[in-house]
Structure 1
Amino acid sequence: MKEELVYTPEELRYLALLAKDYPTQAATFTEIINLRAIVNLPKGTEHFMSDLHGEYEAFYHILNNCSGVIREKVEILFGESLTKDEQDDLLTLVYYPKEKLALMEQQKLLNDGRTRTILQELLRLAKLLSSKYTRSKVRKAMPESFRYVIDELLHARPDEDKNRYAYHAKIIDTILETVSAHEFIFALTALIKRLAVDHLHIIGDIYDRGAHADKIVDELMHHHSLDIQWGNHDVLWMGAAAGDLACIINVLRNNVRYHNLEILENGYGISLRSLALFAVNTYTAGDGIDPMVKAINVLLCKLEGQTIMRRPEYGMDDRLIFKNFDFDKGTVTLPSGTYELTTKDFPTVDRSDPYALSEGEAELMAEMKRRFLGSERLQRHIRFLYSHGSVYRAYNGNLLFHGGIPMNEDGSFTEVLLEGKKYAGKAFMDKADFLARRAFEQRDEYSLDYMWYLWCGYDSPMSGRVVKTLERSYIADESTWKEPQNPYYTLNRDKDACAAMLREFGIDSPQGHIINGHTPVKVKKGESPVRADGKGICIDGGFCRAYQNSTGIAGYTLIFNSYGLRLKSHYPFTNVESVLQSNTDILSDSVQIELEPKRIMIGDTDTGKKLLQMIADLKRLLAAYRQGYIFEHDCREW
């Protein structure tokens, strides 16, 4: 006879609350059976991408082709029954169903027979992709309007009795008769893409350089399951949206520098007319430098300088080089020598107080701040980054962050002074995350200043280098542009150092990895994204067109499925029109990085551990029912 279980009052209160969801013994053991089945399924596929940098079209296509996974599944299913051209046609339909169907209609390629074939092919593809999920999860992933019909069709079997199979065939007949095939195809292609990627990780830097980061965020806001680790370009926009002037001027500089004014003016409704007028009325264009660039550079020097002087703990006094300008001679003196400036045009600089804003500059920045704070779409996008993002994340045995952890050359974690207290390692990363959130919620000066530091600080987990913006802006001699990096960026190539970092975050698995971006992998020069004997993986492969000449590729996707890790290297994307007209796809090379010693099941994942705990709790509830500590209830009583 089993020994009677003992319950604490606290546990009984918890079990009583749990009983509201499972009010009977039958409901309880049914859920135990269900959860037991789930934890024994293969884990879902995770995709990791980083450094998107506003390259919307390439990102959108990779989102649609699921980093080439859809193509692999089509080749498995139809490699012998469809020609290469027919497979490409089907793939383009999955990627861009509305556009492809419209083109096929225009070319008079659609009839009932062709549409029936398309439906049958899409159903076969959806069945293959759904095989690793529970029927309940697949049903929830279906578009609601077609959920019942798709569920019926996905579970049709050729060897069923003739009546049942005829019933499934009749459903397709009815879809064709009611002229609802297009909508049904849209629903099926959406389901296929959703099932191909169970969870998406964006390892930072959605913003800047490319023109349409706002469109990328719109797409991410509709994704079914994702997380974001903030990059330095992301926190810069987050700080600007919270009203920090040093962040705002850097956002303006980046977008003027990369000729991306569209995202500000059209994407977020932030007019630059006042800035343009101020620049034209204040600066000359005689030395070949755009007056707007001149105005921004001076404002950047002043506003960053004010932040540095307010925060001596940042240790950035050496960045106050504006005070070393000889504005009349047009030179600047650095420890390495005296250099000629690219311009002598400094009409707003008070020689006795070079970091003070002029009256016109103060008015201009007050207006810019109002515009950033008043952009409803920008504020909505930044709130999304906060709700789905963080400085780092430990997920399924991997440690994800954009840049690095501040470290000393001996491999120890740097102690960073924040609000009068020193933090290192995980405690530092948690404090940085806390301050970033406080900046947006409370907008206090300390937290806002720290948002700027996260953008460009030597001990920032997103930056990790001495940023030489002023040298790049005013000195032609490129020897002054070199940006020393935090020791992390050397240590992250050492297996033991990476293992120590993983342990700091509670990851002690032989299959644990650090996954980040931030530093482009120069494949052309023989660099590898896989470092430290596989413990570190950098997936910045150059989504940004500006980097593709040096990287030699156009981005990475790291894929982690139940069998292990593989890396997809993408080649440059042309455009959507080319895909539709010629079935052009992004070409990708795939390399297996690591095979798991045994297939990973959901029970082995972070989610699985929570489910196993839930099973244990439900078993306690079931025992409490059977021993009379908790009584069963009719659901209607609740």
Structure 2
Amino acid sequence: MSTPNTTITPQTIENDRRVLELLSQTFNDVSSASTEIINLEAILNLPKGTEHFVADLHGEHEAFRHILKNASGNIKRKVTEIFGTTMREQEIRELCTLIYYPERKLEYIKASENDLDDFYNITLHQLIKVCQSVSSKYTRSKVRKALPREFAYIIEELLHESSSDDNKQPYFNRIIETIITTGQADAFIAALCNVIQRLSIDQLHILGDIFDRGPGAHIIMDTLCDYGQFDIQWGNHDALWMGAAAGNDCCIANVLRLSLRYGNLATLEDGYGINLVPLATFAMETYGDDPCDFFGPHLDTDDTTHNEKTRRLIAQMHKAISIIQFKLEAALIDKRPEWNMADRKLLEHIDFDRKVFTLDGKDYEMRDINFPTVDPADPYRLTPEEEDLVMKLHHSFKVSDKLKKHVQCLFTNGCMYGIYNSNLLFHASMPLNADGSLKEVDLRGQRYKGRELFHRIGMMMRSAYNDDTPADEKDFAIDYYWYLWCGQESPLFDKSKMATFERYFLTDKSTHKEEKGYYYTLRDNEEVCDRILDAFGVTGQHRHIINGHVPVRTNKGETPIRANGKLMVIDGGFAKAYHNTTGIAGYTLVYHSRGFQLVQHEPFTSAEEAIKNGTDIVSSTQIVELSSQRMRVRDTDKGKELLGQIHELTELLYAYRHGIIKERAKKLG
């Protein structure tokens, strides 16, 4: 197509005739094309929609869903703006909790409310005001799409009428009264609350790592698959689960090991129907006399769901799958020598006679020397029992329909990176050389860097699931998921090694150290960030890189804002396992029409506590970057798209008016 600034001539019409002929099937005359141009021009002048960025959710479904429901505190700010002078703080909290959890909150209210009709009347008027506020920056068409079908017409009427208009007040009030008298108040309140939640976030960006540590990754995925307007930049933990679902046994072993390490069996068993009985049986038989002291699950200090017997069984299962993992990984390392990971084959360095680990002529003390399934003469050979167990676990992952559905959702809405409104999003790292230049990485004999590298990796990940992928390429793609998890040149890892074996078995903490790639030190350099942004074709006066992956230790003075504001790291530690590390419980980066704000969240108690007592996540907001002028849709990626559509329609008008393309006759009747 011609660019929007090109002067329209008969020749440009001829050049674009094929597109214009297709367009004329929808806009078949001058009137309809003109009307659409007017509509699009109006949309361009609406305020920019609010984008929310979150990262590293790690299975903390309650905190994540609450942040979705309260729009990272934005709904309470809206309610306070509207009713701050007419309602007490407790009343505001109660109204907000109703918006977040309408069905469950109504149960509590109805159990104690004496005059229910009066409550319904007041609450419906309040909710309509809030809904009018959050919908004000959208077109009627977009709001209409967010409305539940059964109440769409009534809600639309109420949103675009004012109860203060004397001429319409009886009409407005009568609608409310009829909703109550027909017994539809509860359902209507729930519908309004859900619309408020949905319209408070225009686009949700997730910068990876939905899985592992917390108990509800499957619940987060269920929420997202039904959510609509979201995208995800895959993280290392997401890739691990995607690899497990593809049938990579090394990924399966790592998924199981991490789940057992954090005592998280709910996601495996309840979420995805993974049968852990064979692993439990094997572990009890093989490690029944082993105390497995260093394999106990990492649980909250107030955990009451795991008794001593359960913790011991988890420890035995944890050790059993860890040893199997090391064996499986050694086989894959031998299969893919081009990955240069032979130094990660460590079982062969155990001196069973002297009970030490020997590497490069140095002996290291071992915490545990009980390896009943490891043959010193052939340490990586699986025992027949281990082979049988691996086969059963492989089958269990491959036949999980829920896991297949969630992986498909990740593919449909995800990629290795994303570019949205001058912001470059990726989860972890960008492979760099020591001088800050983009590093070329080998992928099946070809070398790629930057944007092309990320694109090729994304295509490789998809090819593992495509039926038309050649067999050898598919086999490599499935294997590659494990390299993404722990390979030195993987953008999702980018460290010298993953020291799992060392952390479990060696007392010398110097062996636990994982040297990070150059990106993690050079990303504080504004010039390096600009170089990366240029390589990805990101333009704009205010452009940024946004990452997750590395928890920001705010309690040690670290800041998520780096490189003079050019880069933002928003892993604030949603996972409870990170709360002591970060000192907080997650970030949301909010990008609205006025600019960027970073919302810092305190730990969330529970949804039940929020519903009963009106508690909310305590959050503090930091202004990152504000614009002198309010951003409009015209200033966004969507605006560029709409401007292109306007230009095409303008060309179509020219073609109609000059007889180059004939207007289509209107159908009668």
**Candidates 379, 384, 405, aligned match of 1:354:** 379
Identity of aligned residues (%): 46
Residues 282-326 of structure 1: per-residue CA shift (max 9 Å, x gap)? 234334343322221111111111222222222222212222122
Say if 2:543 is the partner of 1:539.
Answer: no
Q: Does the 8 A contact of 2:13 with 2:655 survive in 1? A: no
Q: Give a deviation string over 1:2-61, Cα, whole Å, max 9, x none.
A: 985224656212211111111121111111110111111111000000010001111111
Distance 1:338 1:392 in 2: 43
Indicate conservation of the 8 Å contact 1:56/1:213, yes or no: yes
> Which of 643, 646, 654 is equivalent to 1:612?
643
Q: Which residue of 1 aligns with 2:221?
A: 217
Q: Secondary structure at the match of 1:364?
A: helix
Which residue of structure 2 aligns with residue 74 of structure 1?
Answer: 79
- The answer for unaligned runs of 5 or more in structure 1 is none
After TM superposition, the structure 1 = structure 2 runs for residues 471-486 of structure 1, keeping only pairs within 5 Å, are 471-486=502-517
Q: Whole-Å Cα distance in 2 between the matches of residues 161 and 572 of structure 1?
A: 47
Q: What TM-score comes out, normalization by structure 2 length?
A: 0.92
Matched with 1:529 is: 560
Q: 2:453 aligned with 1:422, yes or no?
A: no
Please state whether the residue corresponding to 1:432 is helix, strand or coil.
helix
Letter in 1 for 2:445: G
Out of 56, 62, 68, the residue aligned to residue 57 of structure 1 is: 62
| 1:91 partner letter | C
Say whether 1:571 aligns with 2:596.
no
Q: How many residues were matched structurally?
A: 635
Distance across 2 between alignment mates of 1:592 and 1:18: 44
Q: Distance in 2 between matches of 1:3 and 1:573?
A: 58
Contact 1:238 / 1:440 at 8 angstroms: preserved in 2?
A: no
Match of 2:244 among 240, 246, 250: 240
CA contact (8 A) 2:292 2:319 kept: no
Q: 1:4 to 1:318 in 2, by over 3 A?
A: closer
User: Matched residues in 2 for 1:115 and 1:152: separation?
Assistant: 18
| 1:270 counterpart residue number | 274
Residues 239, 440 of structure 1: 8 Å contact kept? no
Give 1:391 deviation, angstroms. 0.6
Query: Equivalences for 1:144-223 in 2 at 5 Å?
Result: 144-158=149-163, 160=165, 162=167, 164-223=168-227
Tell me which residue corresponds to 2:303. Answer: none
Distance 1:13 1:589 in 2: 53
Distance 1:169 1:336, change over 3 A: farther
Q: Distance in 2 between matches of 1:234 and 1:165?
A: 53
In structure 2, do the counterparts of structure 1 residues 309 and 508 end up closer, same or farther at CA, with 3 Å as the change threshold? same
1:342 maps to: 367
Report the CA distance shift for 1:231/1:55 in structure 2 as closer, same or farther (over 3 A). Answer: same
What secondary structure, in the 3-state scheme, does the structure 2 residue paired with 1:518 have? coil
- What letter corresponds to residue 444 of structure 2 in structure 1? E
2-structure distance, mates of 1:394, 1:285: 54
Q: Distance in 1 between matches of 2:355 and 2:13?
A: 78
Q: CA RMSD in A?
A: 1.7
Which deviations, in whole Å up to 9, do the C-alpha atoms of 1:179-238 show, x marking residues without a partner? 101111111111111111100001100000001100011111111300001110000000
Structure 1 residue 378 displacement after superposition: 0.9
Question: Match of 1:17, as an amino acid?
Answer: L
SS at 1:409 equivalent: coil
Amino acid in the other structure paired with 1:467: M
Residue in 1 that maps onto 2:326 = 301
Mapped contact 2:560–2:568 kept (Cα < 8 A): yes
Contact 1:126/1:154 (<8 A) preserved = yes
1:402 counterpart residue number: 427
In 1: Cα distance, 2:55 partner to 2:9 partner: 54
Partners of 2:665 and 2:378 lie apart in 1 by 77
Match of 1:454 in 2: 484
Q: Secondary structure at the match of 1:361?
A: helix
1:374-404 CA-partner distances (Å, limit 9, x unpaired): 0011111111111111110011100001101
Structure 2 Cα separation of the partners of residues 573 and 307 of structure 1: 41
Paired amino acid for 1:60: R
Secondary structure in 2 matching 1:528: coil
Output the CA distance in 1 between the equivalents of 2:465 and 2:432.
27
Letter in 1 for 2:73: G
Q: Distance in 2 between matches of 1:67 and 1:173?
A: 33
Is the 2:13–2:651 Cα contact (8 Å) retained in structure 1?
no
After TM superposition, give the deviation of residue 635 of structure 1 in Å: 5.6
Q: 2:464 maps to which residue?
A: 439
Q: CA deviation at 1:109?
A: 4.5
| Unaligned runs of at least 5 residues, structure 2 | 1-6, 294-314
- Aligned counterpart in structure 2 of residue 515 of structure 1, from 542, 546, 553: 546
Change in Cα spacing, 1:613 to 1:355, as seen in structure 2 (3 Å) is: same
Query: Matches of 1:233 and 1:142 in 2, distance apart?
Result: 35
Which of 371, 374, 378 lines up with 2:403 in the alignment?
378
Correspondence for 1:251 among 243, 251, 255: 255
Say if 1:271 and 1:169 are closer, same or farther in 2 by CA, change over 3 A. Answer: same
Greater shift, 177-186 or 11-20, is seen at: 11-20
Instruction: Please identify, of 603-612 and 503-512, the stretch whose mean Cα deviation from structure 2 is larger.
Output: 503-512
